[in-house]
């Protein structure tokens, strides 16, 4: 995490993956996300959140992940959340399509 700052310059988008099945660490995910969003170099970056591991029992829904991260309070950037299962390849294309459309519309 300390080296993430090396990648901030000229960033158009952030893809943030949350383990929806790890309910104990969602608060850590929120803290890290909010710290990243406060960085000056990322002010204009769109945010795509993948609520991953939706295929596992007990996983938080995408809506629950959104609530836990406080996404509805984000007003200064475009953002979206997508339920995904990376091992099954579900939801990834929807998120990436949204991201491409969002970035393209800014140019």
Average pLDDT of every residue of the chain = 94
- Are the C-beta atoms of residues 54 and 48 closer than 8 Å to each other? no
User: Residue 1: its pLDDT value, please?
Assistant: 63
pLDDT class of 82 with cuts at 50, 70, 90? very high
Reported pTM = 0.93
Alpha-carbon span 17 to 51, nearest angstrom: 6
User: Residue 106: its pLDDT value, please?
Assistant: 82
CA distances from 87 to 11, 37, 48, 60, 62 (A): 27, 28, 18, 17, 17
């Amino acid at each position: 995490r300390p080296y993430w700052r090396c990648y901030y310059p000229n960033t158009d988008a952030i893809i943030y993956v949350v383990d929806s099945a790890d309910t104990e660490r969602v608060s850590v995910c929120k803290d890290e996300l909010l710290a990243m969003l406060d960085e000056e170099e990322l002010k204009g970056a769109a945010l795509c959140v993948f609520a991953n591991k939706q295929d596992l029992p007990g996983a938080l829904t995408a809506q629950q992940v959104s609530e836990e991260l406080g996404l509805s309070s984000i007003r200064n950037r475009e953002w979206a959340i997508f339920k995904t299962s990376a091992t099954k390849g579900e939801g990834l294309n929807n998120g990436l399509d949204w991201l491409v459309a969002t970035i393209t519309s800014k140019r």
